[in-house]
A and B are shown apart, each in its own frame.
Chain A
Amino acid sequence: MAGGTESCIIDVEGLTTRFGDFVVHENLDLKVREGEILGVVGGSGTGKSVLMRAIIGLKPPSRGTVKVFGVDYYGADDAAREAIEQRWGVLFQGGALFSSMTVAQNVMAPIREHLRLPDELIKDIAALKISMSGLPEEAGAKYPSELSGGMRKRAGLARALALDPEIVFLDEPTAGLDPIGAAKFDELIVNLKESLGLTVFMVTHDLDTLHATCDRVAVLAEKRVIACGPLDEIRRTDHPWIQEYFSGPRGRAALAAEAG
């Protein structure tokens, strides 16, 4: 398990990010392997979302490199960056759908922008992604404001999948969903990962999601990744925050183990 640097699809090395004088990450290292679901956890304000934004190019780091598909993102030229950007999809926390477009138009937007395809085919692809994201047929013609939170996330996922990305970034995919909806979303993510061979980078707070979906878990604390590995391994790590997180009243690890 320890080997395989060559199959690292994302490789973050020595990352330092800061807002003014406030240092969020210092000398942070993280590797994401091809085809895995990596869950990133950490307390509020430890910079989980900032880490994701640093990887997807929205928050340039003050030091360190971010390699995606083996290419240094921040050192690459515009063409190389665009090529990388077409190979990943991002689901933002609230879905981040364009409010002036219907769901189908949202999904069609990146396809139309990057590929030269006949309109009929673009519509068919959009319909396929919408259906694969678990949305009903009639959702395509709806505006984001007409959707529930869960449906908005699914629509956002459909848009993230529009260009058949190899990596999908999910920022708190189950936050704000009821437990049933969250469980279904977990299932959807695992299904899609299996059938499409995706690599998933997921920022989450949800312990159930960690259990249900993640192959490995990275724990952010003290401005770096303090532990990274399969959930069982992480749970045994002797770090006060990790212990509190997984063994606290909400750390239903024991509960799940008992039930299983």
Chain B
Amino acid sequence: MVRTLKKELIMTDSAATFDIGMQDGVLNLIARGDWRARELGGLDERLRDFADDSLGRELVIDMSGVDRLDTAGAMVLQRTFLSCQTRTEISRFIGAKDAHTALLEQVRDHLAPCHVAPLQGNAVIVVLDRLGRGVVDAYYSAIEVLSFIGVTLSTAARVAMRPARMRWTPTFHHMEEAGLNAIPIIGLMTFLIGAVVAFMGAKILRLFNADIFTVELVGISVLREFGVLLSAILIAGRSGSAFTAQIGSMKIREEIDAMRVLGLDPVEVLVLPRVIALVVMMPVIAFIAAILGLIGGGLVAATAMDISPALFLSRFQETIIINHFWAGLIKAPFFAFVIGVIGCYQGMEVEGSAESLGQRTTLSVVQGLFAVILLDAFFAMFYLEIDF
């Protein structure tokens, strides 16, 4: 009765402790209590110090006072024992319960420390290494994107010669998914941007008493740049990433390989419908975006300034030549093409794991946006040269 009661008490809360003694010139370590992982926090340091001090000396570990032992407890005891002992006849564990002896035996062979993280080299070298890899990777990925563009174009040409091969159903599906469904959000965005531009323009132009030039400001900026550029940015974020994720997850499930084995060309089946859908839909989206941008600007002009819609429209017709409209719209299919191709290319580059899919999706958006802005700058210079 007393025994069980005592045992209960120990079971519930008995911290691990140890005492060091000396008997016949041999060190004695008397362990008591619960030698379980959660109890070892305050003990580990002292045990290590003890082991350092008594390196190579004989040690007897008295386990008779140990109530509970887990692998962590067995490990620290065994570690201390192994760092001390020199002759096993003298050094030993005494008084251990059978289960505890078995645990001590079990951990004995598994005491080797292991590395937690890959070794890091010199920081400067690591940075240089990463920089070098980045440059080389950028070079190769540029070449690969160009080659993928080539493959897509040649496949398109092949399909154009035999139009029966064109897959219309997925093409229309993507036109709806990537094009039609994107119109509300893109329209709203350009509407707001048009309004913002009008506000800012009005505020500054008023200083010069030139309020009416707000019409030119809104008209030219929205038609030439904002309509198409905002559409491209949103499509890159919305559809470029979706293409990568769709094709990438098919790649992970080996569907792409299955297609190749079945004699289907993944570029023809997957890439072409997506790219064509974007190229067809982007001008439509950009057009609607531009119109809504103009409406946003016009609305601000009418409410915040004294430019009535009629005045806005007549001024618009007088001053904005049709070139501005075309300058914007011509860019749309080019933007769509690079976004679509980069999205599909990154999808095809996905390897094996979900992390790779995540990385590639990020890359798809980043590269898509970069390519769009680069192309836009190129168009701006081109238009400037030809005075368009």
Residues of A within 8 A of B (CB): 99, 102, 104-105, 108, 111, 114-118, 120-121, 123-132, 137-142, 145, 161, 163-164, 195-197
Contacts and interface: CB of A to CB of B under 8 A. Distances in A.
B116 A108 contact: yes
B99 interface: yes
B99 A197 contact: yes
A145 B103 CA distance: 32
B37 A163 contact: yes
Interface string B76-115: 1001000000000000000000010011011101111111
B116 A117 contact: no
A124 B77 CA distance: 12
A123 B112 CA distance: 11
Contacts of A116: 38, 41
B111 A128 contact: yes
Contacts of A161: 71
B104 to A, nearest CB: 10
B37 A164 contact: yes
B353 interface: yes
Contacts of B109: 131
Which of B45, B70, B113, B354 gathers most chain A CB within 10 Å? B113
B44 interface: yes
Contacts of A141: 114-119
A161 B103 CA distance: 14
A191 B38 CA distance: 24
B363 to A, nearest CB: 18
Nearest to A164: B70
B36 interface: yes
Contacts of B8: none
B75 interface: yes
Contacts of A138: 114-115
Interface string B20-42: 00000000000000001110110
Nearest first, the 6 closest Cβ-Cβ pairs linking A and B are A140-B114, A131-B110, A141-B115, A164-B70, A104-B116, A195-B106
Contact of A102 (B72, B110, B113, B118): B118
